[in-house]
Structure 1
Amino acid sequence: MPHGPAEVGVGPWEGPLPDGSEYDPELLAHGDRRNVVDRYRYWTMAAIVADLDSRRHDFHVAIENWQHDFNIGTIVRSANAFLAAEVHIVGNKRWNRRGAMVTDRYQHVRHHEDAAALAAYLHQHPGGAVRLLGIDNLPGSAHLETMEMPRRVCFLFGQEGPGLSEGARAACDGTFSIAQFGSTRSINASAAAAIAMHSWVRTYADLTGEDAWRG
C-alpha cells in the first residue's frame, strides 16, 4: 500500500490473555485482520453483534433488488456504519454483497418478496409501527432538508437509474427528495442513502458518548 500500514488490524495478542467470553481464542492466537473498529478487536462475531444490538438506532433501510445492483452492498455498509436497526432487501433474495465488505455479518438483513410485504412488516413491527419513506423526486415529495424526520422510519431506495418501482411508490407512507444544485438529474443511490441516514443521525443520535466514533 502506498500510504498507511501494510496490513489492516492487529497481530497475535501479546502478554497475558484477557478474560471475557467476548474474546475469540483463534483471533487472540493468530491476530485480527477484520474490518472492525478497535473496540471489537479479538471479539467473536456473536459478541460484536450482541453489543451492536444493545444500542441500535430506530431507523431501517430498505433497497429494491431487481437488477443485482452493486449499490446494494455499499448501502448495507453505510447502514452498518450508522447502526441501522435492520436492512431490508425487497425483490430478489440474492444480492450483490461485494460493496458490503462483509459488514452484512454484523447487520440484521431481512428479505421481503415485494414492497407491500415490507410495509406490512414495518407497520406491525414489535417495537411499534415504522413509517416507510421512499426517496423519489415525485410531486408532493417532502424536502429532506426541512421535513420533520420520524424517529421510527424506514428509508426505501430503488435501483440505480429507474428509481422506485410503481409497487414501492404505492406501498410508501410518503416520499422525500434531496436538494441538488448542479446539472445532473440525480445522485448515486448509495450516496443518497448515506445522506438520508446521516440526516437521521444528526436529528436523533447521541453524539456525546463513546458510541459515536470518528474514523
Structure 2
Amino acid sequence: MSSETTAPAEPLQYDDGYGPEIGVGPHPEPWPEDGRYDPELLAHGDRRNVVDRYRYWTREAIVADLDTRRHDFHVAVENWSHDFNIGSVVRTANAFLAKEIHIVGQRRWNRRGAMVTDRYQHVRHHPDTEALTSWAATEELPIIGIDNLPGSVPLETTVLPRRCVLLFGQEGPGLTEEARRHASRVCSIAQFGSTRSLNAGAAAAIAMHAWISRHARIEDL
C-alpha cells in the first residue's frame, strides 16, 4: 500500500533510533477488511522499517508472504566474539531475501545493526561449524566460504550454485580454519587498493548480490 493513501501523522523514528523519520500515520477510515492488517497499526500509524507494500500488516502476515518468495541461498556467519558486523550481515540477508540465516558459535549476537530485520527472517543457531556442515549435508546444500585466502577462487568468475550456504567469518580474522575445512570452496572478492580486506558486512553484501545477479528474477520486484 502506498503512503500517499494515508493520513498525515506526527513524525517518529526507527525503533532503535537510527535513520530519518519514516513511515505513515493512522490509516483513514474505513479500514481495510483483511486479516493481514494490524488494528493497532491502522489506528496509530506504522513507523517500522518495512517497504510500503507491508504497511499496516502484522509481522506474522509479512513473514508468511516473504516465505512464499524466499530465495534458495542461506547465509551463515561465525559468531565467536560478539562481532557487531553480524547485524549488518543479517540486514543485508533480509534485503536480498535469504532463505534462512545461520548463526554459528555463540547463540547471542549483536542485533543492533540488523535494524530489527531479524524479526522477518528465520534464524537458526549451530553451536559450531561441524553442526552447520551436518545440517547442510542433510539439505544437500554446498557451503561456499567467502574470504580472501590462499587457494580461494575469484567470486567474480564463479557461478554460485542456486541452492547453497554462503558462509562468512568475523571481522578481522575472517573464516576460521574449521570453516575453511568444511567449505566446498572458498571465494575471494577482487580488491585493487592497499587494504588487506573488506569490512565483513560489505563482503557479505557483495557475495549475496553476486547470487542475486545470477539467479534472482528482477521482474518479480
TM tier, smaller: over 0.9
TM-score when scaled to structure 2? 0.90
Kindly report which structure 2 residues correspond to 1:87-98, keeping only aligned pairs within 5 A, or say none: 87-98=101-112
Q: Choose 134-143 or 5-14, whichever is displaced more.
A: 5-14
Other structure's SS at 1:7 match: coil
Aligned to 1:141: 152
For the pair 1:80 / 2:94, whether they are aligned, the reply is: yes
- One of 160, 172, 177 as aligned partner of 2:183: 172
Amino acid at match of 1:20: D
Amino acid at match of 2:78: E
> Does the 8 A contact of 2:148 with 2:197 survive in 1?
no
Q: CA separation in 2, counterparts of 1:15 and 1:46?
A: 23
Aligned to 1:151: 162
| Residue 6 to residue 187, structure 1, CA distance change in 2 (3 Å) | closer
Q: CA separation in 1, counterparts of 2:148 and 2:56?
A: 45
Aligned to 1:123: 137
Amino acid at match of 1:27: L
Aligned to 1:208: 219
Aligned to 1:163: 174
Identity level (%): 67
- 1:56-111 deviations in Å (ceiling 9; x for gaps): 00001111001111100000000000000000000000000000000000010000
For the pair 1:14 / 2:20, whether they are aligned, the reply is: no
Question: Following TM superposition, by how much is the alpha carbon of 1:148 offset from its aligned partner in structure 2, in angstroms?
Answer: 1.8
- 1:100-143 deviations in Å (ceiling 9; x for gaps): 00000001000001111101111112xxx111011122232111
Q: CA separation in 1, counterparts of 2:148 and 2:51?
A: 36
Amino acid at match of 1:114: D
TM-score when scaled to structure 1? 0.92
Aligned to 1:65: 79
- One of 46, 64, 79 as aligned partner of 1:32: 46
Gaps of 5+ in 2: 1-10, 12-18
- RMSD after superposition: 1.4
- 1:151-190 deviations in Å (ceiling 9; x for gaps): 1111111110011111111111110100000010101000
Gaps of 5+ in 1: none
Q: CA separation in 1, counterparts of 2:137 and 2:159?
A: 19
| Residue 22 to residue 185, structure 1, CA distance change in 2 (3 Å) | same
Q: Choose 166-175 or 95-104, whichever is displaced more.
A: 166-175
> Does the 8 A contact of 2:159 with 2:214 survive in 1?
no
Other structure's SS at 1:145 match: helix
Question: Following TM superposition, by how much is the alpha carbon of 1:6 offset from its aligned partner in structure 2, in angstroms?
Answer: 6.9
For the pair 1:190 / 2:204, whether they are aligned, the reply is: no
